Amino acid sequence: MVPSARLIWLAALAGFPAAVLGALWAQSRPAAVAALAAVALVACVDMALRRRALAGIRVQLPQLVRFFKDREGSFAVRVENPGRRGRRVRIGMVAPDGLQTASEEQTVALPAGADTAEFVWSWMPARRGLYRIECCYLEADSPLGLWAVRRRDPVACEIRVYPNLRRNEDLKALRRGVEGFHVLRQLGRGREFEKLREYVPGDGFDEIHWKATARRGRPITKVFQVERTQEVYVVIDASRLAARPAGDETALERAIAAGLVVGAAAERRGDLFGLAAFSDQVEVFTRARNGKQHYAACRDAIYQLHPRPVSPDFDEIATFLRMRLARRALLLFLTALDDPVLAGSFVRATKLLARRHLVMAAMLRPRAAQPLFHDAGVESAGDIYRHLAGHLAWKRLRELEATLARQGVRLALLEPEKLAANLIGLYDEVKQRQLL
């Protein structure tokens, strides 16, 4: 409880002049004392009635709110007023670190005769993750308005901030993943048996079903179709190198958004999509399925993923996937292999993994990793050394690419702004060439 502006004005207009007159003229002291006593009495009476200010007032927040990073969202706040008395209530909440709001307090007018009132509170999530609002603060005027009565009430509101897939580059990749598959021409006849049909001239001898031919007494041909419901896994590295900046975001933010875009593309193509994330241990694993509920489950499983200050353990994730995945699948690793030590560890870990599964690795191309004469702009001796360092990094990556290719693993260097689109391009190439 704190003094209100009305009490301050009352003390200034009545109490202060009475105190001054009583101090200057002795004959006015009884009247001055009476005036000061009246002001004090009124303030004390209003203080005694302070509990009526917030009596019965309760604030209700939604239990679960879903927001998207860098997109403004809002939720409804409900205020219960069982006494149905008209009053104004100030409601304040402390914005968690990562959420922004124009004002951390709102004033709601409770009309007389109404037992509830609602208003909308807008927020701007700046960072992906899980946030909780566990208390709110209420303030209302006492019956005579001389005191501002305050109270802290517990609430329970969970706010989940998901990756934002409505950026221009992600939207283009998402549209391609949803709409562009029908224009791809499949190479080959397919590997999955579909049906038998009568032989027509031009069918190869390797397509004839000899048992059915003998049984029916006429040539019968096997018909194949492109295999569907294949398993696609995006494996995200959430170790220390994932915290490096990639444009206006971190490498991990780019990888998470691109992984969800690839999941939407796999859903459209009829494949099963799964997610895995690791650092020095397995952080997230969602077995490949399809459907809107499964996509939401993948999004819920990964939205709290943040970089950890540890080195990635490729042996751990490779062993985990070998034990969990019995069916051949496409494993798309999103990691950083410009560190020679980590690159060697990745080569050893994926050697056995590539015997059963189709393994592909994608990493953001380091900005300095370019051939020596790619950029001819040299203005000082420092530029020469910088170009030489970039050429050596580029050469190491090319050697790593050749090493991985010998054991059946493809390495792709991608740009941060086109990561999702390029990943869908790699996935479409796998589907088109029926490599899986």
Alpha carbon of 378 to those of 363, 366, 369, 374, 386: distances in Å?
A: 28, 20, 16, 11, 10
pLDDT at residue 422 is higher than 60: yes
**Residues ≥6 apart with Cβ < 8 Å to 6:** 144, 145, 146
Give me 395's structure tokens. Answer: 């050469």
pLDDT reading at 182 higher than 50: no
Among the residue ranges 85-99, 199-213, 349-363, the one predicted with the least confidence is 199-213
Asked, for residue 200, whether it belongs to a domain, the answer is: no
Among 70-74, 81-85, 186-190, name the one with the lowest average pLDDT: 186-190
Kindly compute the dihedral angle of the four CA atoms of residues 23, 27, 28, 31, in this order, to the nearest 10 degrees: 130
CATH of residue 302's domain is 3.40.50.410
Same domain as 403, residue 312: yes
Within 8 A by CB and 6+ apart from 141, the residues are 4, 53, 87, 88, 147, 148, 149
Min mean pLDDT across 13-27, 102-116, 233-247, 342-356 is at: 13-27
For the ranges 139-148, 395-404, 422-431, the maximum mean pLDDT occurs at 395-404
Band (267; pLDDT cuts 50, 70, 90) = confident
Q: pLDDT of 24-37, one tens digit each? A: 676 667 777 777 77
For 5-33, what is the mean pLDDT? 73
Q: Are residues 77 and 44 in the same domain?
A: no
255 and 139 part of one domain: no
Q: Are residues 373 and 354 in the same domain?
A: yes
- The pairing of beta strand 73-80 with beta strand 99-100: unpaired
Spatial contact of 1 and 148, defined as CB atoms under 8 Å apart: yes
Question: Is 256:284 a contact under the CB 8 Å cutoff?
Answer: no
Question: 389 and 260 in one domain?
Answer: yes
Read off the pLDDT of residues 61-80 as tens digits, 9 standing for 90 and up.
999 999 999 899 999 999 99
Domain at 102, CATH number: 2.60.40.10
The type of residue at 283 is E
Span 228-251, average pLDDT: 90
pLDDT greater at residue 22 or residue 335: 335
Same domain (yes/no): 245, 367: yes
Is 176 a domain residue?
Answer: no
Q: Is residue 177 part of a domain?
A: no
Is 367's pLDDT higher than 70?
yes
Domain that holds residue 23: 2-48
- Is 208 within 8 Å of 221 (Cβ atoms)? yes
Closest CA to 284 of 272, 266, 298: 298
| The pLDDT of residue 122 | 93
Average pLDDT, the chain: 85
Instruction: Tell whether 415 and 387 lie within a shared domain.
Output: yes
| Burial group, residue 57, by CB count within 10 angstroms (0-12, 13-18, 19+) | buried
Give yes or no for a contact between 79 and 57, defined as CB atoms under 8 angstroms apart. Answer: yes
DSSP state string for 269-283:
TT-EEEEEEESSSEE
Does residue 7 or residue 74 have the better pLDDT?
74
Confidence grade of residue 275 (pLDDT, cut at 50, 70, 90): very high
**Judgement on whether residues 41 and 114 belong to the same structural domain of the protein:** no
Number of domains in the chain: 3
**Given a cut of 60, is residue 264 above it in pLDDT?**
yes
State which of 49-53, 308-312, 368-372, 393-397 shows the largest mean pLDDT: 308-312
